[in-house]
Structures are given as structure tokens and as C-alpha cells.
């Protein structure tokens, strides 16, 4: 029981650290890479892979804290705690970023994407369709934030299930003395 509580605290701390790291990543990508959609997407992907590695590390640490044996449920629980914490920090930072730190960010990004679409010679109606999607994405409402948080949790949880399946190592029911 104490090992599980220790794993929960470790997961909580790791979630806070990964959430703050994610904020740094978001700040860097939004400040320096917004003008090129391909670079922006590539940096976003690399940052997400690093965050997923941190989630995997949470499961690995939980397993280590329990003496190398962990059930699927305990491993998944530790990773889900981490995910819930890091995603709420990410969501709150994103809100603060677009509302207070850089309120013109969405407009700048829209202009960059418009230039990108025109450079790629997309049809005008497709550009208009994409810009309309951009306008909808830029509206920040409580419901949109809840949806974003829920979607992020689901995607991250899929990875956590895979990681927990990889990391699980149940204690043997009976230890067989060496023969």
C-alpha cells in the first residue's frame, strides 16, 4: 500500500514537471516557429514525443518503486495521474498564452497559414474553408476547453494503456525454489 501511495506522489510530481516542461515547449514553439506551418508541426510532434517519453518514465518509475513488479492497473493509474496533471497545466498555460502573453498569436498564425496555403497554390475555396476552421479554432469558450482537455486525455490514455501493457510485471503467484 505504501509503495502505491509513493507511486501516486511520484506520478503527481512528474505530472507537474512534465506540465511545466510542456509549457516551455509551447512557449518556444509559439514564439519562434508559428510562421512556418511545417516547422511548427514538426516541433509540436517532437515535443509531444518527449512528453510521451516522460509518461512512460512515470510508469517505469512506479514499477521500480514497487520492487520491479507492477500490475497493469497500478502502472496505468500512475500514468493517468501524470497525464491528468500535465494536461491541465498545458491547457491553463495555453489559455494564459493566447489571452495575456501573446493575444495576437492566433492572428499571426492565421496570416502565416494563409501565406503557406497561397504559396502551395491551394484553390481559393479550400483556403476559405481552412480559414473558417481557423476562426472557429480561435474561439476560446469553456466548452471548447473542456473538449480539448477531454480529447487530450483520451489520446494520452491510449498511449498510457500501451505503455502499461509493456511495463506490467506481476509478482509470480508462487515462487519456485531453484532446482
Tens of pLDDT, residue by residue over 10-55, are 999 999 999 999 999 999 999 999 889 999 999 999 999 999 999 9
Residue 176 located in a structural domain: no
DSSP state of 172: P
Is residue 113 in a domain?
A: no
Q: Give the whole-angstrom CA distance, residue 23 versus residue 93.
A: 6
The number of folded domains in the chain is 1
Q: Which helix (H) or strand (E) holds 162?
A: helix 142-167
Asked whether residue 77 is domain-assigned, the answer is yes
Are the beta carbons of 99 and 140 closer than 8 angstroms? yes
* Assigned domain for 157 exists: yes
User: Is residue 175, in this structure, part of any structural domain at all?
Assistant: no
Q: Is 68 left (phi over 0), alpha (psi -120 to 50) or beta?
A: left
pLDDT per residue rounded down to tens, the chain (179 residues): 566 788 899 999 999 999 999 999 999 999 999 889 999 999 999 999 999 999 999 999 999 999 999 999 999 999 999 999 999 999 999 999 988 999 888 888 888 888 888 898 899 998 888 888 877 776 778 888 899 999 999 999 999 999 999 999 887 767 666 65
Find all residues with CB under 8 Å of 8, minimum gap 6, and list them: 77, 78, 81
Entry pTM: 0.86
* Alpha helices in 33-123, H assignment, sequence order: 37-65, 72-96, 105-119
Tell me whether residue 55 is in a domain: yes
Would residue 158 count as lying in a domain? yes
Q: Is residue 7 part of a domain?
A: yes
Domain extent, residue 16, equals 2-102+148-167
How many residues belong to the chain?
179
DSSP 169: B
Collapsing DSSP states into helix, strand and coil, what is residue 135? helix
The residues, any chain, with a CB within 8 Å of residue 141's CB and separated by 6 or more, are none
Residue 29, H or E segment: helix 2-32
Amino acid at each position: 500500500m505504501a509503495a502505491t501511495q509513493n507511486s501516486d506522489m511520484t506520478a503527481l510530481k512528474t505530472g507537474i514537471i512534465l506540465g511545466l516542461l510542456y509549457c516551455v515547449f509551447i512557449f518556444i514553439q509559439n514564439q519562434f516557429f508559428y510562421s512556418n506551418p511545417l516547422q511548427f508541426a514538426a516541433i509540436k510532434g517532437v515535443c509531444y514525443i518527449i512528453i510521451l517519453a516522460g509518461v512512460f518514465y512515470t510508469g517505469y518509475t512506479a514499477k521500480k518503486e514497487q520492487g520491479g513488479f507492477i500490475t497493469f492497473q497500478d502502472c496505468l493509474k500512475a500514468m493517468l495521474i501524470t497525464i491528468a496533471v500535465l494536461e491541465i497545466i498545458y491547457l491553463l498555460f495555453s489559455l494564459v498564452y493566447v489571452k495575456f502573453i501573446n493575444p495576437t498569436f492566433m492572428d499571426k498564425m492565421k496570416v502565416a497559414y494563409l501565406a503557406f496555403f497561397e504559396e502551395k497554390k491551394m484553390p481559393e475555396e479550400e483556403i476559405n474553408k481552412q480559414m473558417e476552421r481557423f476562426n472557429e479554432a480561435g474561439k476560446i469558450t469553456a466548452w471548447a476547453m473542456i473538449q480539448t482537455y477531454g480529447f487530450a486525455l483520451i489520446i494520452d490514455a491510449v498511449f498510457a494503456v500501451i505503455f502499461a501493457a509493456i511495463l506490467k510485471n506481476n509478482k509470480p503467484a508462487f515462487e519456485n525454489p531453484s532446482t
